[in-house]
Amino acid sequence: MKDSTKNTLKLLATTNIRNDDTLIAAKTAPWWIPMILGLVSIIIPLIPIMTSVSKTHGASVFASNNFGMDLTNTGAFLELKEEGYDFKVDGNKQLLSYKDGALRTEFNDAEPLAQYISVSAEGIQQIEYQIYYLNSTSSKDISAFIKDLNAERYIVGTITKYVPEENPSSLYLEESESETSEEEISEDVSEESSEPSTVDTYYRPSFLLLYKTGMALQIFERNNVKRISAVSGDWYHTTKDEFIIEKMLKTENKPEIDFTKDANGAYKVLREPSYLSDVHKNFSKTLDEVYTETKTRTFWSYTGIFFGVYFAVIVFMALLCFLLTRGKNNPMNYLTFWTCVKMVCWASFAPALLAMIAGFILTSYASMFFILLMGMRIMWLSMKQLRPAQ
């Protein structure tokens, strides 16, 4: 092995802990080595961020709690199917609505196709879940429809929709007043109510909105108008020409849908935990399918954004080093900006490695570690190596 190669390999290790070697490496090593090292240092802290996004699925909204969706979903799906409704994805990846096996041509978007109503021991009824279908491909129409659904209020302990007489907006939460887009509902959200007076007075049932180009699920806290979680996506990865509701209601243990009801008019299968669990698993698989395209877009957008941010951090740190050495009494005032860039690239590997490790430990703060650690590394370098002569 050549002496120059041995020296370069030594510098790869020592520049992480010795500021003198960082300056020597920037002056003597081939220029392409720090460029590759800088690129690697940008990519390494991206790994925890990319891993976190890739592990997110549509059913991640149920990661810690299914919010009783196994029961409400199954009950609403059974009602939907018993009424003759079902849906298929066509070759153009658009959702078609069917009634009694025939393609629907008339629609009443304002009313839910099905809903699950809970009944307490005292006979108190309350809507827990609603399913809507919107026959539209316009993102503007879909966003407006979701905004309207978010604004609806029901009186707690009843199935009566609240209709304000004079000032409808007085009951709306801050989250409902802002425009709701498909991008906004694709993220998990947990927002606090800005008007405590609405708590235990009005509620908003959770709902599933099916539309031509995708679906959106929004889950609200029971007896409240606070949205807990949400997810949306499209039909690009959903198997075409299959009835979606029927596919979710048919399980391995129950290959045929059972509409049998008890004396109170409730579906008997809703008292079978194993069936509820199986239907919920089928629904979760559907959520994963519709979220796939959204996850791919999120993955690449996050990767591109933070790649640009970390690249800018390295350039900024190089500029900072360059400016710190411009003083007349600074012995390093001969350094060029290009030398400073190479010096920062040599110094960036250790912060990148530490940022990756910390990012896996504290995933929520993964995007910030490289910026913080890089700042500390360059501060140390500037104080020990680039300081003015005393």
pLDDT tens by residue, 267-311:
999 999 999 999 999 999 999 999 999 999 999 999 999 999 999
CA distance to 156, 228, 273, per residue, from 162 (Å): 10, 21, 34
From start to end of the chain, where are the E strands? Answer: 85-89, 95-99, 102-103, 114-119, 125-134, 153-155, 161-162, 202-203, 206-211, 214-220, 227-234
pLDDT over 70 percentage in the chain:
88
CA–chain centroid gap for 59, Å, is 11
Residue 148 domain flag: yes
Pick the residue with more confidence: 181 or 132?
132
Mean pLDDT over the full length of the chain: 87
**Cα–Cα distance for residue pair 240/249, rounded to 1 Å:** 17
Would the pLDDT of 168 be above 80?
A: no
Confidence of residue 110 (pLDDT cuts 50, 70, 90): confident
Looking at the 3D structure of the chain, how many domains does it have?
2
Confidence of residue 386 (pLDDT cuts 50, 70, 90): low
Confidence of residue 216 (pLDDT cuts 50, 70, 90): very high
Claim to verify: residue 272 and residue 303 sit in the same structural domain:
no
Residue 344 domain flag: yes
| CB contact at 8 A, 242 and 89 | yes
Residue 264 domain flag: yes
Q: Give me the domain span that covers residue 358.
A: 3-54+298-384
Claim to verify: residue 73 and residue 167 sit in the same structural domain:
yes
- Cα dihedral across residues 350, 354, 359, 362: positive or negative: negative
What are the backbone angles phi and psi of residue 97, rounded to the nearest 5°? Answer: -100, 135
Residues facing residue 153 across a β-bridge:
162
Confidence of residue 333 (pLDDT cuts 50, 70, 90): confident
Would the pLDDT of 83 be above 90?
A: yes
Would the pLDDT of 6 be above 90?
A: no
Claim to verify: residue 280 and residue 356 sit in the same structural domain:
no
- What is the bridge-based pairing of β-strands 161-162 and 153-155? antiparallel
Residue burial 74-91, b: 16+ Cβ < 10 Å; e: rest: bbbbbbbbeeebbbbbee
Would the pLDDT of 316 be above 60?
A: yes
pLDDT value for 270:
94
Could you give the 3-state DSSP secondary structure of residue 383? helix
Residues facing residue 96 across a β-bridge:
88
Nearest partner of 321 among 261, 277, 363, 384, judged by Cα: 384
Claim to verify: residue 273 and residue 305 sit in the same structural domain:
no
Residue 132 domain flag: yes
Give the contacts of 39 (CB within 8 A, at least 6 positions apart). Answer: none
Residue 390 domain flag: no
Claim to verify: residue 114 and residue 225 sit in the same structural domain:
yes
pLDDT value for 11:
81
Claim to verify: residue 118 and residue 38 sit in the same structural domain:
no
Confidence (pTM): 0.80
Confidence of residue 1 (pLDDT cuts 50, 70, 90): low
Most confident listed range (5-14, 198-207, 230-239, 378-387): 230-239
Confidence of residue 16 (pLDDT cuts 50, 70, 90): confident
Claim to verify: residue 273 and residue 320 sit in the same structural domain:
no
- What is the bridge-based pairing of β-strands 206-211 and 125-134? parallel
Question: What is the rounded (10 degree) CA torsion for 122, 127, 128, 130?
Answer: 160
Q: pLDDT digits over 345-379, tens only?
A: 999 999 999 999 999 999 999 999 999 999 999 98
